[in-house]
């Protein structure tokens, strides 16, 4: 009865949170891995059950628990669909670091993950990678990683993963990769808000135009926008993968960069960054030096659509005549509950017809680094999402997360023979409407 928990004492998942689950299964249909594999262990209910068994010391951390938590996309669809209010997000954030600490990964898995985390959160390295164009080659070229990749590439299964990484990267205009926004953009007319903009790492390198559009739209709607120069990665990818220590370090740096700014809101246009920054309060809750600062920071973080939806539109819009599918990024819809606002913002554009695709709550398979570490599952989900979107016959697809954009681009393209469907961030559509230009299709 009193078998000790398999978790170590540093922030194990709490018994109360585990007990909230009544095993009703309402979360099953929206769980992407359950949709793919139809197994209890790869459903939220099954994962919580395994966590609970581990907490009671009835199973160990390695084996089933480790594998099935690894297979979780962290999309949080289960949080949205649970009528009992189970906080799977908190359970997952508690369990992943436990597994990273306590369960050794196979060598190839470890190396590959190291490659990703050595590359993605670093704007500089991404810029270099983008500049040379072919990341796969670039990985070999980066002195720090040459040895790593050689070994990684030598291992059969990992090839698929590297191919996945390469296939995802978008074409990038060199100018964009190195471009930076000015530090202050004044509001058009009287300022209604003053906000700070997180420019993101992946976002700024690969989707710089989205940041430009965000700043322009905010300014047009009466926001003074501050863009701190020395921003770093917010740590979202690491936080969501259980790399707690580096996530904490990044969180502290980000807080330090933004907290002194005299702003009403800290704004992000990236779903994943928003969800992690809103979590800083919980992440640093145990650290007396940081707890209050982190909580205060998290309280001011807003997704760009939340702010835009609150502001009565002032900038005149030009019509954009298009059928548009808005794809809910999991980290925006499920993790932050922001679903209505982006749609409301898009509806302010005259001529724009918003259409819903089937299975809106299902993840596209991008999910942070998931499409890199589990390419087969991610590809299946991507193809399913693309088929659902195509069935709605959109002229344009919009979504607020670079991961989703990359994933959708790849899979919408892969359905060969079909018409090209342009992809954008919602603020780019709004920007085009306000400026009266045709939306710049990337």
Partner 1 sequence: MTRIDATAQRGFDRVLGAENVISDRARLRSYECDGLTGYRVIPALVLLPRTAEQVAAAVRVCAEHGITFVARGAGTGLSGGALPVADGVVISLQRLRRVLAVDPVDRLAVLEPGVTNLEITKAAAPYGLYYAPDPSSQQVCTIGGNVAENSGGAHCLKYGFTTNHVLALEVVLADGSVVTLGGDTTEQLGPDLRGVFLGSEGTLGIATKVTVRLLRTPEAVRTLLADFPSVAAAGEVVSDIIAGGIVPAAVEMMDTLAIEAAEAAVCAGYTLGVPAALVVELDGPAQECHNQFERVKAICEAHGCTRLHIAADAEERAAIWRGRKSAFAAVGRISPDYFVQDGVVPRTRLAEVLSRIGEMGEAVGLRVANVFHAGDGNLHPLVLYDASAGETARAEKLSAEIAELCVELGGSLSGEHGIGTDKACSMPKMFSEADLELMGRVRDAFDPGGLCNPGKLLPTPRLCGERPGKYRPHPLEAAGVIERL
Provide the mask over 356-375, with x wherever binding to partner 1 is found by CB under 8 A and - wherever it is not.
--x-----------------
The DSSP code sequence of 90-111 is: HHHHHHHHHHHHHSPPPHHHHH
Q: Which is nearer to partner 1, 21 or 372 (CB)?
A: 21
Residue 78 binding partner 1, by CB under 8 A: no
Nearer to ligand SF4 among residue 92 and residue 307 (C-beta): 92
Q: Determine which helix (DSSP H) or strand (DSSP E) holds 64, and give its type and residue range.
A: helix 64-70
Encoding tokens for residue 374?
């589990």
Select the residue interacting with partner 1 from 25, 154, 350, 351 (CB under 8 A).
25
CB of 370 to ligand SF4, least distance (A): 9
Q: Which of residues 319-358 bind partner 1 (CB under 8 A)?
A: 358
Spatial strand order in the sheet of 301-303 = 184-185, 223-226, 193-198, 265-268, 301-303
| Element containing residue 323 per DSSP (H, E) | strand 322-327
Among 8, 10, 63, 180, binds partner 1 (CB under 8 A): 63
Out of 4, 9, 83, 156, point to the residue binding partner 1 (CB under 8 A).
Answer: 83
- Check binding of 59 to partner 1 (CB under 8 A): yes
Within residues 247-286, the interface with partner 1 by CB under 8 A covers none
Angle, vertex CA 324, rays to CA 320 and CA 326, nearest 5: 130
Q: Tell whether the torsion through CA atoms of 271, 276, 282 and 288 is positive or negative.
A: negative
What count of Cα atoms within 13 Å lies in the side-chain half-sphere of residue 175? 2
Nearer of residues 78 and 397 to ligand SF4, judged by Cβ? 78
* Binding at 6: pick from ligand SF4, partner 1, none (beta carbon under 5-8 Å per type): none
Least distance between partner 1 and beta carbon 325 (Å)? 18
Place of tokens 């270099």: 128
Among 44, 46, 272, 274, binds partner 1 (CB under 8 A): 46
Nearest residue to 301 via CA among 333, 259, 253 = 259
List residues binding partner 1 (CB under 8 A): 19-20, 22-26, 28-29, 38-41, 45-46, 49-50, 53, 58-60, 63-65, 81, 83-85, 358
């Amino acid at each position: 009865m009193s078998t000790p928990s398999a978790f170590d004492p540093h922030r194990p998942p709490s018994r109360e949170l585990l007990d909230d689950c009544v095993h009703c299964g309402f979360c099953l249909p929206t769980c992407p891995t359950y949709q793919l594999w139809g197994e209890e262990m790869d459903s939220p209910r099954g994962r919580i059950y395994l966590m609970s068994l581990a907490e009671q010391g009835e199973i160990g951390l390695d084996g089933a628990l480790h594998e099935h938590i690894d297979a979780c996309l962290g999309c949080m669809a289960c949080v949205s669909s649970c009528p009992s209010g189970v906080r799977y997000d908190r359970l997952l954030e508690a369990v992943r670091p436990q597994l990273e600490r306590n369960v050794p990964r196979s060598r190839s898995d470890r190396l590959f993950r190291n490659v990703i985390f050595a590359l993605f959160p670093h704007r500089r390295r991404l810029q270099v990678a983008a500049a040379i164009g072919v990341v796969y080659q670039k990985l070999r070229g980066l002195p720090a990683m040459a040895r790593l990749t050689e070994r990684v590439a030598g291992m059969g299964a990992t090839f698929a993963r590297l191919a996945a990484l390469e296939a995802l990267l978008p074409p990038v205009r060199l100018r964009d990769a190195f471009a930076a926004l000015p530090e202050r953009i004044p509001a058009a007319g009287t300022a209604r808000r003053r906000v700070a903009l997180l420019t993101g790492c992946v976002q700024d390198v690969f989707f710089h135009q989205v940041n430009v559009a965000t700043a322009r739209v905010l300014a047009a709607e009466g926001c003074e926008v501050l863009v701190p120069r020395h921003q770093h990665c917010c740590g979202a990818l690491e936080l969501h993968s259980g790399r707690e220590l580096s996530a904490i370090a990044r969180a502290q740096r980000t807080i330090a960069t933004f907290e002194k700014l005299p702003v009403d809101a800290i704004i992000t246009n990236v779903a994943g960054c928003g969800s992690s920054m809103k979590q800083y309060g919980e992440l640093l809750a145990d650290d007396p030096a940081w707890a209050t600062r982190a909580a205060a920071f998290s309280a001011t973080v807003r997704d760009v659509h939340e702010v835009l939806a609150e502001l009565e539109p002032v900038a005149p819009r030009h019509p954009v005549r298009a059928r548009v599918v808005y794809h809910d990024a999991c980290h925006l819809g499920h993790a932050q509950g922001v679903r209505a606002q982006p749609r409301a913002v898009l509806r302010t554009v005259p001529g724009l017809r918003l259409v819903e695709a089937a299975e809106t709550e299902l993840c596209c398979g991008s999910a942070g680094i998931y499409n890199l570490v589990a390419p087969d599952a991610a590809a299946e989900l991507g193809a399913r999402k693309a088929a659902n979107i195509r069935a709605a016959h959109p002229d344009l697809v919009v979504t607020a997360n670079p991961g989703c954009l990359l994933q959708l681009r790849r899979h919408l393209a892969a359905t060969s023979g079909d018409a090209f469907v342009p992809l954008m961030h919602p603020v780019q559509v709004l920007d085009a409407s306000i400026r009266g230009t045709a939306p710049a299709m990337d």
